[in-house]
Amino acid sequence: MPPIHIQEIGPDQFSLYGAIPNWYRVESVLRVEVMDGGLGGFRLVEKRVAEPYIRDYNSHHDDNPGAWAATFDTSRWGMFVATAGEQPVGGAAVALDTPVYPMDHFQRQDLAVLWDIRVHPDQRGRGIGPKLFRYAADWARGKGYGQLGVETDSANVPACRFYLRQGCTLGAIHRFGYIACPEVAHNAMLLWYFDLSPEQNQPLLESVRG
């Protein structure tokens, strides 16, 4: 297979990004167990689903860069595409200075948000996801940001494990974060955070690049 190359793209190349499939297979979910009404804390327990299913983000009209640009001011966002030869195989988007969750007034001012990251299903397992994550993190760090925030659905267990492997820390469990969205209202919103300080992540960066 050709080597993987990652580049930042502009609006004229958004179609490349949007052409990358964005779905995952749900075989288990992370259920939130509440202890002592919440005063005793929460515990995430992985449970198998009775009938595995596909969650396909591509079925939503708003899951592409063109729709994001129509909703938000993306002029300062970072949009990145990974290619193998001429074929787009992955993408990542970093939101800056935009009121997207979890970037709100309760968060630190130097928080960037990994708004989207995806790898073509045929190319998963080749290390493209970690390369995109590190590229996006390096880019946000270069812009002067000190933390990267990521939101996941508790049904996306592969993504949760991915962020954990990249060095992210689970910072919040919002049990009712999707209550207004019937399709996923029963799932919890999980917020992950990644420290962008160079001294904290330099060993990880070196291991990825090596």
- The mean per-residue pLDDT over the stretch 134-161 comes to 96
**How many CB atoms neighbour CB 101 within 10 A?**
15
**What pLDDT, on the 0 to 100 scale, is given for residue 199?**
57
**What pLDDT, on the 0 to 100 scale, is given for residue 62?**
75
Which amino acid is present at 154?
S
CA triple 148-127-75, angle to 5 deg: 40
Annotate 87-147 with DSSP letters as a single string.
EEEEEEEEE-SS--TT-STTS-TTEEEEEEEEE-GGGTTSSHHHHHHHHHHHHHHHTT--E
**What pLDDT, on the 0 to 100 scale, is given for residue 202?**
45
Q: Which domain holds residue 96?
A: 4-209
Give the residue carrying structure tokens 């259920």. 31
Asked if pLDDT for residue 208 goes beyond 60, the answer is: no
- The mean per-residue pLDDT over the stretch 90-110 comes to 84
The structural domain count of the chain equals 1
**What pLDDT, on the 0 to 100 scale, is given for residue 128?**
97
Asked if pLDDT for residue 60 goes beyond 90, the answer is: no
Asked if pLDDT for residue 204 goes beyond 70, the answer is: no
Asked if pLDDT for residue 34 goes beyond 50, the answer is: yes
Asked if pLDDT for residue 141 goes beyond 80, the answer is: yes
Q: 84 has which bridge partners? A: 4, 87
Which amino acid is present at 172?
A
**What pLDDT, on the 0 to 100 scale, is given for residue 98?**
87
CATH number, domain at 124?
A: 3.40.630.30
**What pLDDT, on the 0 to 100 scale, is given for residue 2?**
85
**Predicted model pTM:** 0.90
Contact 191, 178 (CB under 8 A): no
Q: Quick: pLDDT tens for 162-199.
A: 999 999 999 999 999 999 989 899 999 999 999 998 75
Please state, in angstroms and as integers, the Cα–Cα distance from residue 18 to each residue in 92, 120, 138, following that order: 11, 11, 23
CA distance 206 to 136: 15
CA distance 157 to 24: 10
